[in-house]
Amino acid sequence: MNFEHTEERRMLADSLDRFIAQQYGFETRDRIAASPQGWSGAMWERFAELGALGVLLREEDGGFGGAGFDIAVVFEALGRGLVVEPFLGSAVLAAEAIAAAGTAVQKERLAALADGSLIAGFAHDEPDAYYALAHVGTRAVRDGDGWVLDGVKSAVPQGEAAGLFVVSARTAGAVDDEAGISLFLVPADAAGLTVRGTPTIDGGRVAELALDGVRVDAGALLGAEGTAFAAIERAVGRGVLALCAEALGAMEAAKAATLDYLRTRKQFGVPIGSFQALQHRMADLLLEIEQARSAVINAAAALDAERLVRERALSAAKMSIGRIGTMVAEECIQLHGGIGMTWELPLAHYAKRLVMIDHQLGDEDHHLARYIALGAAGAARMQDAA
Full set of structural domains in the chain with CATH: 7-115 (1.10.540.10), 120-224 (2.40.110.10), 230-380 (1.20.140.10)
**Is residue 35 over pLDDT 60?**
yes
**Is residue 3 over pLDDT 80?**
no
Share the mean pLDDT of the chain: 94
Give residue 349's pLDDT band: very low, low, confident or very high (50, 70, 90).
very high
Rounded Cα distance, 238 and 252, in Å: 21
**Is residue 297 over pLDDT 70?**
yes
Percent of the chain with pLDDT over 90: 86
Alpha-carbon dihedral 47, 53, 54, 56, rounded to 10 degrees: 140
Query: When comparing pLDDT for 269 and 35, which is higher?
Result: 35
**Is residue 6 over pLDDT 90?**
no
The predicted structure's pLDDT at residue 131: 95
The predicted structure's pLDDT at residue 381: 81
The predicted structure's pLDDT at residue 337: 85
**Is residue 240 over pLDDT 90?**
yes
For residues 38-58, give the mean pLDDT: 96
| φ/ψ of residue 130, rounded to 5 | 55, 45
Give residue 56's pLDDT band: very low, low, confident or very high (50, 70, 90).
very high
Rounded Cα distance, 84 and 206, in Å: 11
Contact between 89 and 155 (Cβ < 8 Å): no
Rounded Cα distance, 157 and 299, in Å: 22
For residues 323-347, give the mean pLDDT: 89
Give residue 168's pLDDT band: very low, low, confident or very high (50, 70, 90).
very high
